[in-house]
């Protein structure tokens, strides 16, 4: 702290100096005092004030129901921006700007910047996004060739949807034939025309397909005898490696309705029996089912028919993995892989994969995956 004292010696009376001299002295003293105060950080210097800042959103991303997108916003100060949702029933927003659509409607998000020692808080800025539903793709169903069907016998119809989704079957003539809804196994109950339907209900990506039908003639058997050997067998592992599920494509009835199926392992040691109306034959192996093939015999009132050709147990697997790509939302990179495991021979085949890469530059379309050795 500085204290400056100015005094003029002499009697307390008006100075005999001219007025111009008085003004000059005052100017000199005032200028010196101001300089002294300024040099010492005195009250003549103005106080520093925090600067204002503004926010600006980037382009609004597309937002689809059940999916996520990335928001972008910048502050003129260069400080980081935080985000929040003003419509939590419609969308959820993380502080980082990751927004997820919960329901259809208008999703309103807010951007904020709290400021610091140099910048004042920015006025809040909002952005509205419309939550959209993706359009559903069309699909169609086509039947394969109609199989022969005899009275009391069975045959399998096949139909495929262009979407690759599973088809369900039904019978429009239940007095003539019955149909297993998932396998397409048809049982001939009476002579006449058997009409089978195929439907596909659609999902989040595909609309329901138009129903298609196929007609089979149920013909009489040439004579009565034991059933023929079952054909078109398929076997796969059940819920774990200790069970096997076997399906039958078709069986000639021998002129008398089939009442049961018997299944045996190759090599021998395991067996099971089910009624003819069962949708599939499930066998419990006790331990592992690895190393076994299976044969099936059909039974009617005339006796037990010959065994089918041995069927190996082949189970198909599919792996789908999604890799989140923040720069290309709502599109992600997706890997789809598949392989088949033959538990009879303990071998793997058909190992393949497809990677659909989502990029901001020239995209990679496919990356093949192959198995060696």
Q: What is the CATH number of the domain that holds 185?
A: 2.60.40.1080
Is residue 50 in a domain? no
pLDDT below 50 — which residues of the chain? 1-15, 17, 19-47, 372-373
pLDDT given for residue 25 in this prediction:
44
Is residue 29 in a domain? no
Could you tell me whether strands 141-143 and 159-161 are parallel, antiparallel, or unpaired per DSSP bridges? antiparallel
> Exposed, middle or buried: residue 268 (CB in 10 Å: 0-12, 13-18, 19+)?
exposed
Is residue 354 in a domain? yes
Sheet with 212-219: list strands edge to edge: 149-150, 212-219, 192-199, 168-171
Is residue 267 in a domain? yes
pLDDT given for residue 363 in this prediction:
52
Residue 19's H or E segment, with its range, is helix 19-39
Residue that is last in its domain, among 99, 132, 165:
132
Is residue 21 in a domain? no
pLDDT given for residue 197 in this prediction:
97
- Measured CA to CA in angstroms, residue 129 lies from 92, 104, 297, 330 at distances of 12, 10, 63, 14
Is residue 8 in a domain? no
pLDDT given for residue 261 in this prediction:
94
- Residue whose C-alpha is closest to residue 275's, from 295, 300, 253: 300
**CATH number of the structural domain spanning residue 303:** 2.60.40.10
Distance of CA 237 to the CA centre of its chain: 26
Domains contained in the chain, number: 4
Q: What residues does 40 pair with on adjacent strands?
A: none
Q: Do residues 284 and 265 share a domain?
A: yes
Q: State the Cα angle at 236 between 235 and 242, rounded to 5°.
A: 115
Q: Do residues 121 and 186 share a domain?
A: no
Q: What residues does 270 pair with on adjacent strands?
A: none
Query: Can you tell me the distance from the alpha carbon of 133 to that of 330, in angstroms, rounded to the nearest whole number?
Result: 12
pLDDT given for residue 302 in this prediction:
86
pLDDT given for residue 5 in this prediction:
40
> Exposed, middle or buried: residue 100 (CB in 10 Å: 0-12, 13-18, 19+)?
middle
Residue that is last in its domain, among 132, 163, 190:
132
pLDDT given for residue 2 in this prediction:
40
Q: Do residues 335 and 358 share a domain?
A: yes
Contact 99, 63 (CB under 8 A): yes
pLDDT given for residue 362 in this prediction:
55
How many Cβ atoms are within 10 Å of 72's Cβ, its own excluded?
Answer: 15
Q: Do residues 99 and 152 share a domain?
A: no
Query: Can you tell me the distance from the alpha carbon of 335 to that of 339, in angstroms, rounded to the nearest whole number?
Result: 14
Q: What residues does 341 pair with on adjacent strands?
A: 315, 348
Q: Which domain holds residue 290?
A: 234-312
Is residue 318 in a domain? yes
pLDDT given for residue 368 in this prediction:
59
Could you tell me whether strands 91-93 and 98-101 are parallel, antiparallel, or unpaired per DSSP bridges? antiparallel
Q: Do residues 82 and 113 share a domain?
A: yes
């Amino acid at each position: 702290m500085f204290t400056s004292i100015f005094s003029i010696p002499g009697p307390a009376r008006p100075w005999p100096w001219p007025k111009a001299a008085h003004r000059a002295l005052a100017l000199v003293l005032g200028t010196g005092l101001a300089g002294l105060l300024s040099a010492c950080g005195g009250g003549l210097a103005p106080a520093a004030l925090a600067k204002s800042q503004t926010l600006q959103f980037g382009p609004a991303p597309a937002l689809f129901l059940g999916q996520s997108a990335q928001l972008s916003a910048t502050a003129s100060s260069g400080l980081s921006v935080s985000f929040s949702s003003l419509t939590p029933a419609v969308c959820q927003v993380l502080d980082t700007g990751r927004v997820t659509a919960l329901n259809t409607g208008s999703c309103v998000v807010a951007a904020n910047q709290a400021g610091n020692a140099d910048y004042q808080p920015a006025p809040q800025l909002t952005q509205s996004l419309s939550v959209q539903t993706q359009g559903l793709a069309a699909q169609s169903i086509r039947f394969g060739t109609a199989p022969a069907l005899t009275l009391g016998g069975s045959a399998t119809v096949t139909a495929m949807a262009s979407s690759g989704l599973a088809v369900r079957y039904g019978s429009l003539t239940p007095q003539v034939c019955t149909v297993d809804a998932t396998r397409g196994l048809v049982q001939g109950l009476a002579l006449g025309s058997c009409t089978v339907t195929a439907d596909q209900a659609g999902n989040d990506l595909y609309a329901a397909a138009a129903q298609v039908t196929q007609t089979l003639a149920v013909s009489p058997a040439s004579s009565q005898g034991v059933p023929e050997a079952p054909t078109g067998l398929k076997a796969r592992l059940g819920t774990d490696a200790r069970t096997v599920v076997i399906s039958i494509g078709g069986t000639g009835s021998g002129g008398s309705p089939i009442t049961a199926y018997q299944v045996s392992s190759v090599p021998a040691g395991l067996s099971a029996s089910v009624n003819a109306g069962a949708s599939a034959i499930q066998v419990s192996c006790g331990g592992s089912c690895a190393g076994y093939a299976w044969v099936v015999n059909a039974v009617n009132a005339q006796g037990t028919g010959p065994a089918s050709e041995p069927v190996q147990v082949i189970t198909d697997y599919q792996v789908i993995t999604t890799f989140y790509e923040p720069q290309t939302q709502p599109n992600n990179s997706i890997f789809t892989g598949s392989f088949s495991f033959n538990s009879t021979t303990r071998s793997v085949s058909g190992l393949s994969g497809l990677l659909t890469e989502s990029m901001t530059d020239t995209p990679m379309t496919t990356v093949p995956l192959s198995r060696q050795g």
